[in-house]
Amino acid sequence: VTQRSAVAVIDAIQRRAAADPRVTGLAGGLPAEVQFPKRALAQSFLRALSQAGAPALQYGWVEGSEGLRALVARRLRARGAATRDDEVIITNGAQQAIAIALELSTQAGDHVGVDTETYPAALELMRARRRIPVAGAGKVRLIYAMPAVSNPRGLTLDAAGRRTLLARHVPIIEDDAYADLQFAGPAPRPLIADAPDRVLHVGTFSKTLSPGLRIGWLITPHRLRRRALQIKQASDLQASSLTQAILEDYLTGGGRGAHVTFDERLVVLRRFYRTRAAVLGRALHTHLPDWKFQAPEGGFAIWAEAGERGRQIDEVAFLKAAVAARVVFDPGSLFRSSSARSPLAIRLCFSTAPSAELEPAMRRLARVYRRVCR
């Protein structure tokens, strides 16, 4: 099978699993639905709609709404960056920000440095745009990295790792998607604070509020900003005025009654996902004792590698058997720049499924594993 058709096969299996309510979903990196602030977003929607002239329903400017950009910049300044309000470009989620950043800083055929395992949609983007993702310390045109809470491992770079990354002296796409969900506390100092002349900073509200809004952002070095806006304009004119207006109202706490602030919300989310990570970690340890994994420092998932006797198991066969046992996960090949299907590794998301389902799901997965190991 080609790499593309392997991805299509996995996609088809995961879609069927997602449509079946009996299957416990440990795939996809989706935020917990129970944490969506539905009432607060509804109130923000109604307030946004009641503004004179209803700008939330009208066209807006390519760079995004002034108020939302100011809010994003302020949060980055609080973390040590010198970001000015007018440097922020609002995008359709982090993915579009990564796509624009990649186009700005590389050409077809260029090598892009990535972690040994990384965000699948970034890898797919690079392949679609004929950039070549490569893990390791070789010479590259650009690095794509998640310094604060990586995907799929959920780890944050320590000071030495940060220094090593910056010392490579190439442009860096800093994908900050999970930074606010570092369990131990607030998001760390972003890379852009230390190298604003070559860091393209990418963020999103998809993990902390709602992916359905499709609101992310991009901050580029000054010299690239004008071209970034041209690419954004050519791509789709602008991000949704409506979802921007909802977010702006929500973040400024417009008319907040009993609602928590966004920062208070983040404290709740960190505790919520940390608890779930612990539940899944314990279940994994209990039921698949020969598997290797590191407790994540944040985010939505655990990256787990099969023990010695399972290393050569085919991940697609394992996925099919798991779905038959009502568990779905993300196979490891999706996260590898090489697309290698072995040694067997999987991403298990603890973020979406009800917490009480995590342990039983691991028990079923272990049964499947023992069977396919025979």
Contact residues: a second copy, CB under 8 A: 15, 28, 30-31, 33, 36, 38, 41-42, 45-46, 49, 53-61, 91-93, 95-96, 99, 121, 124-125, 128-129, 206, 210-214, 230-231, 233-243, 245
- State the minimum distance, in angstroms, from the CB of residue 186 to a second copy: 24
* Phi, psi (degrees; rounded to nearest 5) at 186: -60, 160
> Of 52 and 137, which CB lies nearer to a second copy in the complex structure?
52
| Cα separation, 194 vs 76, whole angstroms | 12
Q: Determine how many CB atoms are found less than 10 A away from the CB of residue 240.
A: 18
- State the minimum distance, in angstroms, from the CB of residue 233 to a second copy: 7
| Cα separation, 48 vs 184, whole angstroms | 34
- State the minimum distance, in angstroms, from the CB of residue 93 to a second copy: 6
> Where is 173: in which H helix or E strand?
strand 172-175
> Of 123 and 283, which CB lies nearer to a second copy in the complex structure?
123
> Of 175 and 297, which CB lies nearer to a second copy in the complex structure?
175
> Of 44 and 156, which CB lies nearer to a second copy in the complex structure?
44
- State the minimum distance, in angstroms, from the CB of residue 323 to a second copy: 18
> Of 130 and 309, which CB lies nearer to a second copy in the complex structure?
130
Reading phi first (left if > 0) and then psi (alpha if -120 to 50, else beta), residue 237 is in: left
- The vertex-149 CA angle with 14 and 190, nearest 5°, equals 135
| SS3 annotation, 231-298 | HHHHHHCCCCHHHHHHHHHHHCCCCCCCCCCHHHHHHHHHHHHHHHHHHHHHHHHHHCCCCEECCCCE
Q: Determine how many CB atoms are found less than 10 A away from the CB of residue 109.
A: 9
- State the minimum distance, in angstroms, from the CB of residue 298 to a second copy: 19
> Of 184 and 237, which CB lies nearer to a second copy in the complex structure?
237
What single-letter DSSP state applies at residue 55?
G
- State the minimum distance, in angstroms, from the CB of residue 245 to a second copy: 8
